[in-house]
């Protein structure tokens, strides 16, 4: 080719939005200025819940300096009842707030103070007097096992429970077994940008700037909550400061901003404080997980049973599926997976990065490690022995599965030399442990659409309502367009995050890049065909062409774009329909994680010293941003294994550690050298791009690799997560 495109899919292109982000000019939701000014809303939370408001005196607040209004259930604009219509599902159902005198859970807003400045609103909020008559609440699922029930559905899976094979017989016939209960703590996504929404009404029209992962379902949520037409709602969200599941749907500040803007007749911003986020944003439920595993003398798995119990927030149907990885990781004669919930009077429970796998691999992969040890088989070898030929639960063929290659590559890169006797690997007063675990995460494709426009100046503009929450959407979409149309990346403008653009699935569930990317790929191919026709009409027949400046170059011919394009350029639309892909095959991304930890023999302090990850995510769309996402996932996994837990006060159903001083995410010095590797690949049939999901894969397996390393270092099998030094301290081997 004479004019090879400068940017290809897979290239390590720097983020195209990088300059905006490093200069502070990228506009996040809380950064918008609106002509005429923005009033500030401050949330007043219920101190307890459930309960009934018996006193709510806002008179002092209303009379405070700068206060425009105090919104309560008495004066809030009308809304559809919370949770309706029920068949809509959790993202699009009514998210009504300030409905009546009933409080569902602690931290729920009971008032919103709107003032000219934040300082005024915050002060006025302190003047509000609230009394609540507490009701009987269910907070801890483990204390209410009599109320456990099968949820109607679980996140990301078609079946709530699966029962393959005769578990009891296979377990009884096993030579080696593991039977253990695990506790995984509640957690918060804790994106660095707290939830924030700016709302403005112009007659019937509502304009929203908000931090959100999926725009289309947020439009429906506003429509269903406020009882208005979707056509009258526009959501703008070009940059979102991290999501990790917490911004999949709309939360209380969003509805409050819309209500307050209507009530006050002015633009209103409601930014959740960091403390608000822990009660007014979603969280991952604490889970009880029970595992029963059995294997023969040869190390072949015979029986697997994985039971999970979690909280489901009342009237908010979401249940995480920790047994998801258990269904697809290994071959076994019997695999039973069961998910149960107890409905609780707590803030929303929803997806947190790698729902299912993050905490499911944490327990399952540590139990597998334990079983391998009982069988006297190296954990690497044990996994190879139990590699399935088809999906163990559904029986479907795998679309593409290169887990064995990941494991072998990872073992070599890490320098895995087999297990040593726990507590025997030492450096001075440090106990050193090695551990490994596999990563698995379902790969999905969702409907999406896109439009592109090429103008005579040689510039391409693409529009999708896709979001970029740090995932690199702007960049990989630019690469897809650049390669498909042979146009330089710097001539492409990617416009995202606006509900007036073609609908995509947004960012979540690791489906964002494949779904929006495939739609854009289709749009670019349509545009390419249309350009080919225009060229043919101009007497140029070409199999390939390149867009260079204001010209189109085909072989030795150069034609001005202006000569073949219409006045307003040339437009094309594209889409992807998941029904046309997948072919009924089992779709997963895979990986392996190896970790080395050190445990201080005197204090029990746990540190991760290095990690190696090898991942099979099909075709990599950008080596640089993909590596970053996987690395970020591994760091998230360190948090899950050793740091992060939202502690519940079971007397009140409240979270106790609602800030970064007490909810510990990994900081820079908590993170060691991370060796991140991706297998070159192309997952044919997964989607038109051949890619697989990557955003959550890095977490999967990271935690259990660390936990297994902690075991080798100390000889202690900790069955609660996160693992803290006090969990190992009194059991450390003597030096």
Interface contacts to other proteins, rule CB under 8 A: 14-15, 17-28, 30-31, 33, 117-120, 122-123, 189-194, 239-244, 271, 273-274, 469-472, 624-625, 627-629, 631-636, 659-661, 665-671, 673-674
DSSP 733: P
Nearer to other proteins, 471 or 714 (CB): 471
- Least distance to other proteins, CB of residue 606, Å: 17
DSSP code string of 666-719:
--GGG--EEEEEE-----TTTSTT-B---TTTTTTTHHHHHHHHHHHHHS----
Spell out a b/e string for 268-282, using b for 16 or more CB atoms within 10 Å of the CB, else e.
bbbbbbeebbbbbbb
Catalytic residues: 696
- Between CA 235 and CA 566 the distance in angstroms is 31
Distance CA 125, CA 112 (A): 8
Is the bond leading into 722 cis (omega within 30 degrees of zero)? yes
3-state secondary structure of 450: strand
Q: How far is CA 441 from each of CA 91, 493, 607, rounded to the nearest angstrom?
A: 22, 32, 26
Q: Would you say 32 or 163 has its CB closer to other proteins?
A: 32
Q: Which is nearer to other proteins, 116 or 397 (CB)?
A: 116
Question: Which has the closest alpha carbon to 207: 266, 247, 277?
Answer: 266
Residue that has been written with the tokens 């044990």 in this structure: 382
CB of 27 to other proteins, least distance (A): 7
Least distance from C-beta 414 to other proteins, angstroms? 17
Q: Are 84 and 146 in contact (CB under 8 A)?
A: no
CB of 321 to other proteins, least distance (A): 23
Cα distance between residue 316 and residue 283, in whole Å: 12
Closest approach, Cβ 248 to other proteins, in A, equals 15
**Could you tell me the smallest distance in angstroms from the CB atom of residue 243 to other proteins?**
8
Please state the closest distance from residue 446 (CB atom) to other proteins, in A. Answer: 21
**Whose Cβ is closer to other proteins: residue 88's or residue 675's?**
675
Phi first, then psi: give them for residue 625, nearest 5 degrees. Answer: -70, -30
Rg (CA), the chain: 27
Short-list 342, 365, 234, CA closest to 287: 342
Beta carbon nearer to other proteins, 435 or 470: 470
CB of 30 or CB of 681, closer to other proteins: 30
Is the peptide bond preceding residue 85 cis, with omega within 30 degrees of 0? yes
Nearest CB to other proteins, comparing residues 449 and 478: 478
Q: Tell me the CA distances in angstroms from 239 to 29, 215, 267, 543, 697, one per residue in order.
A: 7, 12, 20, 38, 23
Q: Which is nearer to other proteins, 323 or 489 (CB)?
A: 489
Q: How far is the CB of 277 from other proteins (least distance, A)?
A: 9
Query: Any residues with CB less than 8 A from the CB of 24 and at least 6 apart, and which?
Result: none
């Amino acid at each position: 080719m004479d004019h090879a495109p400068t940017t290809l899919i897979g290239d390590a292109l720097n983020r195209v939005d990088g300059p905006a982000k490093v200069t502070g000019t990228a506009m996040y939701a809380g950064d918008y200025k609106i002509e005429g000014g923005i009033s500030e809303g401050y949330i007043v939370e219920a101190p307890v819940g459930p309960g009934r408001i018996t006193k709510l005196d806002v008179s002092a607040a209303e009379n405070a300096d700068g206060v425009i209004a105090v919104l309560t259930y008495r004066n809030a604009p009308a809304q559809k009842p919370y949770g309706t219509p029920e068949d809509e599902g959790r993202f699009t159902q009514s998210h009504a707030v300030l409905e009546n005198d009933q409080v569902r859970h602690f931290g729920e807003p009971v008032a919103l103070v709107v003032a000219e400045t934040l300082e005024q609103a915050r002060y006025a909020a302190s003047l509000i007097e609230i009394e609540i008559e507490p009701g009987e609440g269910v907070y801890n699922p483990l204390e209410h096992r009599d109320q456990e029930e099968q949820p109607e559905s679980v996140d990301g899976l078609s079946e709530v429970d699966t029962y393959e094979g005769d578990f009891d017989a296979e377990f009884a016939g096993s030579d080696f077994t593991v039977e253990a209960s695990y506790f995984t703590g509640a957690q918060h996504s804790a994106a660095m940008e707290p939830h924030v929404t700016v709302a403005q009404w112009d007659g019937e029209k509502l304009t929203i700037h908000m931090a959100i992962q999926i725009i289309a379902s947020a439009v429906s949520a506003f429509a269903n909550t406020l009882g208005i037409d979707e056509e009258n709602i526009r959501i703008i969200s070009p940059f979102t400061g991290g999501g990790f599941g917490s911004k999949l749907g709309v939360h209380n500040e969003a509805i409050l901003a819309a209500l307050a803007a209507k009530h006050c007749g002015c633009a209103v911003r409601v930014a959740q404080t960091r403390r608000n986020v822990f009660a007014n944003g979603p969280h991952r439920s604490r889970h009880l997980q029970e595992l029963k595993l059995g294997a023969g003398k040869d190390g072949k798995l015979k029986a697997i049973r994985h039971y999970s119990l979690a909280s489901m927030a009342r009237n908010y149907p979401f249940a995480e599926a920790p047994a998801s990885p258990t269904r697809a990781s290994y071959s076994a004669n019997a695999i039973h997976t069961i998910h149960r919930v107890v409905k609780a009077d707590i803030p929303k429970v929803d997806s947190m990065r790698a729902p299912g796998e993050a905490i499911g691999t944490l327990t399952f992969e540590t139990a597998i490690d334990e079983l391998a040890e009982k069988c006297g088989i190296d954990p690497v070898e044990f996994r190879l022995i139990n590699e399935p030929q088809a999906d163990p639960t559904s029986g479907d063929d795998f679309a593409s599965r290169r887990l064995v290659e990941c494991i072998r590559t990872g073992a070599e890169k890490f320098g895995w030399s087999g297990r040593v006797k726990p507590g025997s690997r030492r450096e001075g007063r440090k106990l050193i442990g090695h551990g490994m675990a596999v990563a698995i995460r379902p790969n999905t494709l969702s409907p999406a659409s896109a439009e592109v426009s090429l103008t005579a100046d040689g510039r391409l503009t693409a529009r999708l309502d896709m979001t970029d929450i740090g995932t690199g959407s702007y960049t990989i979409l630019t690469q897809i367009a650049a390669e498909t149309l042979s146009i330089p990346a710097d001539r492409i403008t990617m416009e995202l995050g606006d509900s007036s653009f073609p609908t995509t699935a947004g960012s979540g569930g690791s489906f964002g890049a494949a779904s929006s990317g495939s739609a854009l790929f289709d749009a670019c191919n349509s545009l390419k065909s249309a350009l080919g026709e225009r060229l043919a009409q101009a007497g140029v027949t070409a199999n390939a062409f390149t867009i260079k400046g204001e010209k189109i170059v085909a072989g030795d011919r150069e034609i001005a774009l202006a000569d073949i394009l219409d006045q307003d350029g040339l437009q094309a639309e594209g889409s992807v329909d998941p029904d046309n892909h997948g072919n009924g095959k089992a779709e997963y991304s895979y990986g392996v994680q190896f970790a080395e930890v050190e445990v201080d023999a005197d204090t029990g302090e746990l540190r991760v010293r290095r990690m190696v990850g090898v991942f099979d995510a099909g075709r990599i769309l950008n080596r640089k941003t993909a590596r970053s996402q996987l690395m970020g996932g591994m760091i998230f996994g360190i948090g899950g294994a050793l740091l992060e837990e939202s502690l519940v006060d079971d007397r009140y159903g409240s979270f106790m550690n609602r800030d970064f001083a007490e909810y510990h995410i990994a900081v820079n010095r908590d993170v060691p050298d991370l060796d991140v590797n991706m297998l070159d690949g192309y997952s044919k049939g997964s989607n038109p791009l051949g890619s697989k999901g990557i955003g959550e894969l890095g977490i999967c397996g990271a935690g259990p690799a660390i936990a297994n390393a902690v075991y080798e270092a100390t000889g202690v099998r900790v069955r609660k997560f996160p693992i803290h030094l006090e969990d190992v301290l009194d059991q450390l081997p003597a030096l």
